[in-house]
Amino acid sequence: MSTKKSNPKKEIVLQGIGVSPGLVVGPAFLMKADDKLPVARDITPEEISREVSRFEAALVTTKEQLHKIQKRVGKAMGQESASIFDAHLLVVDDRAFIEEIIRELNAKKKNIDAILEYVSEKYISALSAFEDEYLRERAADVRDVTRRILKNLAGENIKSLDQLKESCIIITPDLSPSATAMMDKNKVLGFATDIGSPTSHTAIMAKALKIPAIVGLHDVSVRVSTRDRVLIDGDKGVFILHPTQERIDQYNKVAQVRSSIQSGLSALREKPAETKDGYHLPLSANIELPEDVEAVIENGAKGIGLYRTELLYLVSEELPTEDEQATAYEEAAERLFPESVIIRTLDLGGDKFVSHIRKVPELNPFMGWRAVRFCLANLDIFKTQLRAILRASRHENVQLMYPLISNVNQVLQCNALLEETKDELRKEKIAFNEDIHVGAMIEVPSAALTADLIAPHVSFFSLGTNDLAQYTLAVDRVNEQIADLYEPTHPAIIKLIKRTIDTAHQHGIWAGICGEMAGDPFLVPLLIGLGADELSVSPTNVPKVKDIIRNVTYSESEKLASEVMKCASGKEILERCQALTRKAAPEILELID
């Protein structure tokens, strides 16, 4: 970090979301949003074919540019990072998107630039309205590709961050994944944006490039001017404009401490997730695609506790075939053998639907036709997936689980279909694991309260704490007006978790936790004390969670859980959990918000 003389201007501290770790100080470079809208003009019927030709040429050019970017990223950062641009290429190749643009062109008889802007905004608005964070972030991909096509239609050069003359910290309202990919790491020290989230492709690219980054700063782009001195703390999301020399010296010391902590966490990769008094707690990871397996291995997780399969459907123009699914599941199973790979059956519905599946409009989709309910109403789709999972199970480390179970009858129906599918494979002489383990996800209160009825029909429970909290508290997690009511430590949630785990043990099966609570360093000791048999977290959270596990004892975790069961508020429960984490692993506090 630099240590130039302090700036006499008043220091301003802003809080955003840290999406790529690291501390950096340097001069700002303000990159203004390129939001110039195309001017709409009327065209004659005779001009339509010319506009279509312009559009097709711009699509070809855009596709060539994206392939070049993808190739460059693949060489510099590996195929996992390069695969991010598959989503961009899907937009360029999306026949439904292109055909709608041509239809609107013929109907409205406006220039293709204006029509493209109009149709893409419809897509962007629809995607932005989804609750699912992954889908919301796909709006950014559509916006990025649309800007690129518009530039190519206009014959304009696309600004690139690989031509900067001097080192700087990029400040901008938003940053597209393609712009991020073109950054010159020797010149871009870090970046900060007004909008964005941890799951955006821009955030993922920043991590891959190891560039400190903060998003969600709201108005940083109007507060900062080019050459202003700024400080970025990518770990905690702190952005400081005009930092004092005293502040810079303080952060230099913080950087040294964090570097030492991270080295210690990296050294834990091969060590067991075991408490100080010898209690072993399996620590696995959550993934969405086969490419994520590399991060599982790099971070020292033992297997996959949640393989979300719906992304295979969401990124495909058609329903993925049995062979395509089996290949994806087997890839993970082979790489991680003998560690277990738990595949969650399709959790479409709610805010996750694809254009090639018929969807009936619903007033309240999150309470409606989703997950196992959708699968049991679409047996052909469900059976295709069960066949693929069973085929992958020949490696004998594959397990499956049903999402959003609300009653035992759903489990019985799913199990009956599974047995029917096994019979088909036997007749076809296709190998599979006859003894594949089957689990139920406990995500709604009715499942937690009737866990004793469900347990005899499954091999394990997996608690999805995100939905469990949402449905128990009747709180929409992304509604800012009631965000303060979303409280995972609410006594009701803790009691439902405890009840479910105890019921599982009484029936001789295990119970794991795969929701956000499992990856929260403050809550890990509590989950240990409640009796959780496994935690499954995002790959990047594995080292921090493992450090917590290795620094507490089972006995003090059990004592914490016992005390918590008597607490009257979620705030009191959280405070007790935080106190234990601060005492057992204070170093972790330096790495979390």
Active-site residue list: 201, 514
d(CA 65, CA 179): 12
Q: Taking each helix axis as running N to C, give the angle between helix 48-77 and helix 86-93, from 0 to 180 degrees, rounded to the nearest 10.
A: 170
d(CA 469, CA 444): 8
d(CA 183, CA 205): 10
Q: Taking each helix axis as running N to C, give the angle between helix 542-551 and helix 245-266, from 0 to 180 degrees, rounded to the nearest 10.
A: 80
Counting other chains too, the contacts that 418-421 makes at CB distance below 8 Å and 24 or more residues apart are 418/386, 418/390, 420/383, 421/383, 421/386, 421/387, 421/390
Per the CB < 8 A criterion, the answer to whether 188 and 213 are in contact is no
Give the helix/strand (H/E) hosting 513. Answer: strand 510-513
Strands 229-233 and 238-241, sheet pairing: antiparallel
Nearest to 335 by CA among 292, 388, 378, 286: 292
CA angle at 172 for the pair 169 and 174, rounded to the nearest 5°: 125
Per the CB < 8 A criterion, the answer to whether 192 and 170 are in contact is yes
**If you search the block for the tokens 């007006």, which residue do you land on?**
481
DSSP 214: E
d(CA 508, CA 502): 10
Nearest to 139 by CA among 221, 61, 191, 196: 196
Q: Taking each helix axis as running N to C, give the angle between helix 201-209 and helix 48-77, from 0 to 180 degrees, rounded to the nearest 10.
A: 30
**If you search the block for the tokens 């499992």, which residue do you land on?**
518
Which 3 state secondary structure label does DSSP give 162?
A: coil
DSSP 357: S
Give the helix/strand (H/E) hosting 87. Answer: helix 86-93
Tokens, residue 218: 């709201």
Dump strand ranges (E) for 274-427: 283-287, 304-308, 341-344, 398-402
**If you search the block for the tokens 């383990």, which residue do you land on?**
437
CA angle at 309 for the pair 307 and 312, rounded to the nearest 5°: 135
Per the CB < 8 A criterion, the answer to whether 462 and 442 are in contact is yes
On the 0-12 / 13-18 / 19+ scale of CB atoms within 10 A, 534 is buried
What is the chain's length?
593
d(CA 401, CA 460): 9
Strands 12-15 and 238-241, sheet pairing: antiparallel
Tokens, residue 58: 């711009």
CA angle at 146 for the pair 291 and 55, rounded to the nearest 5°: 115
